Amino acid sequence: MLISGSCVFSNSAEKGIGTFLTFNRKLRLMKISTGIIAALFFCLSAKAQWTSNPSFNTPSALGNEFVDPIALVDSEGNTLISCRFLTGTGSYGVKAQKLDPSGVPQWGTGGLVVNADDPSQTFTTVYTSTVDCANNLLTTFQDSRTGDWDVFISKVNANGTLGWGTAGVQLSYGISTDVNPHVLAMPDSTTIIAWQTDDSTGIRLQRLTYDGTKMWGQYGILHHYQPGDLLHYYGYPELVLCNDTSFYLLFKKANASFNASQQKFSMMKFGVSSQELFAGDIDFQSIGGIPNISYIKALSDGAEGVVMGWLDSRVNNFYLDGFVQHTDPLGNPLLTPDGVSVSALSTSQELGDIQIAWMNNTIYAGYMGTLNAYMQAIDATGSVLIGSGGMSYTTTASNIAQINLKVADGNLLFTYDESSFPNDEYSAVIFDPTLTLLSSFYVANGSSTKSNATLTDCKNSQAVLVWQDSRNSGVNNIYAQNINSDGSLGVGVSEINDFDFAAFPNPASSELNIRSFIPQRK
């Protein structure tokens, strides 16, 4: 049988993805053959972008230079990526990209500019992103377009339009340096933004309506040091949802803006009318040294409390150890005051990072030493379940970096970089809730430098790892790879099993039409 023709793709009127093939040549054909089915599946696979080969991966933003990606997943399983890009004048702006659940870029090869009418007149540095309840991408950043560092926020609607205009919304003003913004999407479609003031003596907060109108005045509200508190310098804000009408602000406070001799991690709870709901700041970490640049890892426990993780040097002033805490809606610590240590490695090596996950009323911590990756579990009473040093996942790499940890269909997905200069290889391991190793595999092992890896939450049985990658002639671009919750890469097993088709007419003498159908993932 000789067949010549082409694959034609179109959207099916049915719920799902329909694919049509028409072969327009006289055929001696009496029934559907396995060859036609193979051709159909080949054309179907050509539309999907995810690959099962970790040496390739999916390009997500290509151009002059793209760096520092943040990856999120929306309610439909799309991956939303924000990143910085190099403009023609040598400054950096912010772009956004959307990958559909199959990994197909939706906003062109280079993404959308989100941060200014003229990105050559801006320079962005620290930024954070989130997805709101309407699947819009919200990105807040510190920007020099006014001549000073000010905080702005932009919204990219789910359809790829800019919801708050090309310039976004300016949040801070004046001859100042406002830095380290963080953003939180509330269930009522409003947005909370927090940032560090220019003199570091407070945290400013603003609430925006869905259309970008400021609800807390032109300059927002200021949360600053309290009478009698010698720690006047506030910084590195982190926002966590409590419920429909309140949220938490977590931050670092110190007795100096840099190289402080006294430091704490604290929290305050706010209502959506800007009122403070605690009588005063609650310190959840008050002993030991904290790094000058300190980011708290925090997430909601789903019951109006907060789970948090951080690094400090209370055990040994020369090394950093990992600690976790869990607080109730009143701010009371549910574990040991000042947190529970996840490791006892300070005499042998310093921890470089800690990531946390929350499942089955248990805190899971992933952390890295110099040569090994580690996992630990802490139950609701604060008991450490995997020994004092955690479970070591030994590698042969010269360095471990860029760790990420997420819950994936009842298990734990832990990714990390096995760095052996000049190449980086991203690996992943999957553990069950008892931290029994289920699988280990490569995610990206092509020959290139890779950095700033970020992992989405698991949605529809897949998470997506996104990073900057120099494989394109040494220029940093953004690449992505899906990771199925069963440890495979590429098209999910459930999608292949759901593959269905119909052929007509049958038998055929001159033309055969084949309709294939794959239901969308739920």
* Dihedrals phi, psi of 39, to nearest 5 degrees: -65, -40
Q: Is residue 507 situated within a structural domain?
A: yes
- Let me know: does 289 contact 346? Beta carbons within 8 Å: no
* pLDDT mean over 493-512: 49
Q: Is residue 171 situated within a structural domain?
A: no
For residue 280, name the pLDDT band (cuts at 50, 70, 90).
very high
Tell me the residue range of the domain where 507 lies.
6-43+501-518
Q: Is residue 205 situated within a structural domain?
A: yes
Q: Which two tokens stand for residue 158?
A: 């789910």
Residue 200, pLDDT above cutoff 90: no
Q: Is residue 238 situated within a structural domain?
A: yes
What DSSP string runs through 252-277? EEESSSSS-SSEEEEEEEEETTS-B-
Q: Counting Cβ atoms within 10 Å, is residue 501 exposed (0-12), middle (13-18) or buried (19+)?
A: middle
Last residue of a domain, one of 268, 295, 322: 295
Q: Which pLDDT score is estimated for 292?
A: 78
Report d(CA 371, CA 401) in Å as an integer: 9
Q: Which pLDDT score is estimated for 218?
A: 95
Q: Is residue 272 situated within a structural domain?
A: yes
Number of domains in the chain: 2
Report d(CA 162, CA 116) in Å as an integer: 11
Q: Which pLDDT score is estimated for 8?
A: 34
Last residue of a domain, one of 295, 316, 337: 295
Q: Which pLDDT score is estimated for 48?
A: 53
- Let me know: does 481 contact 104? Beta carbons within 8 Å: no
Q: Which pLDDT score is estimated for 1?
A: 34
Q: Which pLDDT score is estimated for 503?
A: 52
- Let me know: does 36 contact 94? Beta carbons within 8 Å: no
Quick: pLDDT tens for 423-440: 899 999 999 999 999 999
What DSSP string runs through 320-371? -EEEEEEE-TT--BSSSTT-EES---TTT----EEEEEEETTEEEEEEE-SS
- Let me know: does 87 contact 42? Beta carbons within 8 Å: no
User: Can you tell me whether residue 407 is helix, strand or coil?
Assistant: strand
Q: How many CA atoms lie less than 13 Å away from 304 in the CB half-sphere? A: 12
Give the closest residue to 129 by CA, choosing from 142, 141, 146, 145.
141
Report d(CA 218, CA 387) in Å as an integer: 52
Q: Which pLDDT score is estimated for 504?
A: 53
Residue 475 to residues 34, 299, 449, Cα–Cα distance (Å): 44, 34, 10
- Let me know: does 430 contact 412? Beta carbons within 8 Å: yes
Find the CATH number of the domain harbouring 235.
Answer: 2.115.10.20
For residue 33, name the pLDDT band (cuts at 50, 70, 90).
very low
Q: Which pLDDT score is estimated for 259?
A: 77
* pLDDT mean over 75-84: 96
Report d(CA 352, CA 288) in Å as an integer: 17
34, containing H or E segment: helix 34-47
Q: In this prediction, what percent of the chain has a pLDDT beyond 90? A: 57
- Min mean pLDDT across 143-147, 232-236, 310-314, 367-371 is at 367-371
Q: Is residue 324 situated within a structural domain?
A: no
- Min mean pLDDT across 13-17, 45-49, 65-69, 263-267 is at 13-17
pTM for the whole thing?
0.84
User: Can you tell me whether residue 42 is helix, strand or coil?
Assistant: helix
Q: Which two tokens stand for residue 169?
A: 């919304």
Task: Considering only residues 341 and 214, tell me which one the structure prediction assigns the higher pLDDT.
Answer: 214
Quick: pLDDT tens for 227-265: 778 888 899 999 999 999 999 999 999 887 777 778 899
Residue 2, pLDDT above cutoff 70: no
Quick: pLDDT tens for 354-404: 999 999 999 999 988 767 888 999 999 999 998 877 888 766 666 788 999
Last residue of a domain, one of 259, 277, 295: 295
Give the closest residue to 58 by CA, choosing from 376, 374, 437, 469.
469
Q: Which pLDDT score is estimated for 127?
A: 86
Q: Which pLDDT score is estimated for 496?
A: 42
